[in-house]
Structure 1
Amino acid sequence: MLTGMQIAIIGGDARQLEIVRKLTELDAKLSLIGFEQLDHAFSGATKEKLDEVDFSNIDAIILPVPGTNLEGHVETIFSNEKVCLSEDMLMKTPTHCTVYSGITNSYLNGITKKSNRRLVQLFERDDVAIYNSIPTVEGTIMMAIQHTDFTIHGSNIVVLGLGRVGMSVARTFAALGANVKVGARKSEHIARITEMGLTPFTLNELEQNVKDVDICINTIPHLIVSASVLSKMPVHTLIIDLASKPGGTDFRYAEKRGIKALLAPGLPGIVAPKTAGQILANVLSQLLSDDLQKRKGKEE
């Protein structure tokens, strides 16, 4: 139980509703910021504006999966008002206050470091990323079907990266009957791709391996699908870029060549917000419970 914990949930999409539901069930007291247009009411959760929150009582701050942008603004689907997280706000919180976010950036790293508040990136955790890869794969299949005029079965698929998402994507598309090649840097990833029964190649061989590709799925958050790579692809190729913004594709050159390239970060929140929210809610409730127990232990 989270009885006695005061938590601020700032902005977000439908995934946050599952987090609110779970934490109120565990008896936490919630301040919902950026939820004015939300019709649903939760017992134990109060909709508040940012300037109404008493941050001196806040034990934890939960941000949406993207965290903030580089100016500190937080995405708020259920509000038209701009919400910004600042260093001053964090300084008002108790020293034990922890900030939870899906991912981070230089702004969020900067304000948490200056205010000496702990920042937890949920998507850095293997369990979250692996669970989250399930709705990501389903969303990728949906996009592949929507944006092509051929079957996945028998098509040539190139997956870039064999991280937690890349592995799930490659395995599932192969199970659907596609001819799957996977590009990776690490020798152990090349070995794993071989063990999975797929065709491996190193990323410095990328240009040679896209000459007959039908669908290219990128999971690497660096510019990997460059203009020189795009110039070797057939014009009918569909690119689905799952990497965090701005993705790993030269979208300008793709458009110039007439190649359809889709940036699709945050697919779980689009195709399965309930499941994606439950994944985050379960992990958050455990982390918050651990924090509460540690704090009680120190006070005793």
Structure 2
Amino acid sequence: MLTDMQIVAMGGDARQLEIIKKLTELDAKILLAGFEQLDQPFSGAVKEKVQDIDFSEIDAIILPVPGTDPEGAVETIFSNEKIVLTEKILHRTPSHCTVYSGISNSYLDQITEKTQRKLVKLFERDDVAIYNSIPTVEGTIMMAIQNTDITIHRSSIAVLGLGRVGMSVARSFSLLGAKVKVGARKSEHIARITEMGLEPFHLSDLRNEVKDIDICINTVPHLIVNAAVIAQMPSHTLIIDLASKPGGTDFRYAEKRGIKALLAPGLPGIVAPKTAGQILANVLSQLLSEDLASRKGNEA
């Protein structure tokens, strides 16, 4: 239980609603900033304007998955009010206050470091990333079906990167009957691709490996699908870029060549917001429970 914990949920989308629901069920007191247009009531949750919140009593701040923009603004679909997380706000919080976000950026890193507040990046956790790969795969399959005129079965697909998402994507498309090759750099990843029964190749050979593919699925958050690579692709190739913004594809050159290239970060929140929110809610409730137990232990 999270009785006595005071938490600010600051902005967010439908995923945040599942988090609020879970934490109120655990008896936390939730203050909702940036939710004035939300009709759905939550017992134990109160809508507040940021300027009216007493941050000196707040144990945790939960940001949306994207965190903040480079100026500190927090994205919310339930408010027209601009919500900004500032260094001044964090200075007003107790020293034990923890900021939870899906991902971070230089602004968020900087203000939490300056104020010496703990920042937890949920998407850097293996459990969150692996659970999230499930709706990511389903969304990728949906995009492949919607944007091609061929079946996945017997299509030629290149998956770039064998991280937690890349592994799930490669396995799932292979199980659907696609001919899947996977590009990686690490020797252990090449070995794992081979063990999975898929065709491995080194990413340094990427230009030679895309000459006969129908779909290219990128998970590498660096410009890897560049103009030189795209120039070697058949004109019908579909590029689905799952890497975080701005992706790893030269979208300008893809458009120039007439190749459809789609940037699709955050697919779990688009195709399955309820499930994606439940994933985050379960992990957050565990982390908050551990924080509360630790704090009570230190006070004893």
Shorter-chain TM-score: which interval?
Answer: over 0.9
State the distance in 2 between where 1:174 and 1:72 align.
41
TM-score (structure 1 length as normaliser): 0.99
- Residue 285 of structure 1 corresponds to 285
State the distance in 2 between where 1:169 and 1:7 align.
35
State the distance in 2 between where 1:81 and 1:7 align.
20
* Superposition deviation, residue 156 in structure 1: 0.4
* Superposition deviation, residue 41 in structure 1: 0.6
The DSSP-based 3-state class of the residue aligned with 1:40 is: coil
- Residue 95 of structure 2 corresponds to 95
Question: RMSD value over aligned CA atoms?
Answer: 0.5
State the distance in 2 between where 1:81 and 1:259 align.
39
- Residue 178 of structure 2 corresponds to 178
- Residue 121 of structure 1 corresponds to 121
The DSSP-based 3-state class of the residue aligned with 2:201 is: strand
- Residue 72 of structure 1 corresponds to 72
* Superposition deviation, residue 280 in structure 1: 0.3
- Residue 224 of structure 1 corresponds to 224
* Superposition deviation, residue 171 in structure 1: 0.0
CA deviation profile, 1:200-236 (whole Å, cap 9, x unmatched):
0001000000001101000010000000000001111
CA deviation profile, 1:222-258 (whole Å, cap 9, x unmatched):
0000000000011111111000000000011111111
Counterpart mapping for 1:26-45 below 5 A: 26-45=26-45
- Residue 188 of structure 1 corresponds to 188
- Residue 82 of structure 1 corresponds to 82
- Residue 107 of structure 1 corresponds to 107
State the distance in 2 between where 1:53 and 1:212 align.
58
Percent of pairs with identical residues: 78
Answering whether residue 24 of structure 2 is matched by residue 51 of structure 1, we say no
Runs of 4+ in 1 over 6 A off after TM superposition: none
Q: Which amino acid aligns with 1:35?
A: F
CA deviation profile, 1:127-162 (whole Å, cap 9, x unmatched):
000000000000000000011110000100000000
* Superposition deviation, residue 49 in structure 1: 1.1
The DSSP-based 3-state class of the residue aligned with 1:206 is: helix
Query: What are the ranges of 5 or more consecutive residues in structure 2 without an aligned counterpart?
Result: none
The DSSP-based 3-state class of the residue aligned with 1:247 is: coil
State the distance in 2 between where 1:255 and 1:82 align.
34
Aligned pairs, how many?
300
* Superposition deviation, residue 94 in structure 1: 0.2
Q: Which amino acid aligns with 1:38?
A: L
Q: Which amino acid aligns with 1:70?
A: P
State the distance in 2 between where 1:174 and 1:143 align.
16
Q: Which amino acid aligns with 1:41?
A: P
TM-score (structure 2 length as normaliser): 0.99
The DSSP-based 3-state class of the residue aligned with 1:173 is: helix
State the distance in 1 between where 2:10 and 2:215 align.
37
* Superposition deviation, residue 82 in structure 1: 1.1
CA deviation profile, 1:261-298 (whole Å, cap 9, x unmatched):
00000000000001000000000000000000000000
* Superposition deviation, residue 186 in structure 1: 0.3
Q: Which amino acid aligns with 2:214?
A: D
Answering whether residue 174 of structure 2 is matched by residue 169 of structure 1, we say no
State the distance in 1 between where 2:139 and 2:32 align.
29
- Residue 246 of structure 1 corresponds to 246
CA deviation profile, 1:166-214 (whole Å, cap 9, x unmatched):
0000000000000000000100000000000000000100000000110
Q: Which amino acid aligns with 1:3?
A: T
State the distance in 2 between where 1:188 and 1:288 align.
35
CA deviation profile, 1:38-84 (whole Å, cap 9, x unmatched):
11010100111111111101100000111011111111011111111
Answering whether residue 25 of structure 2 is matched by residue 22 of structure 1, we say no
- Residue 255 of structure 1 corresponds to 255
Q: Which amino acid aligns with 2:173?
A: F
The DSSP-based 3-state class of the residue aligned with 2:8 is: strand
* Superposition deviation, residue 119 in structure 1: 0.3
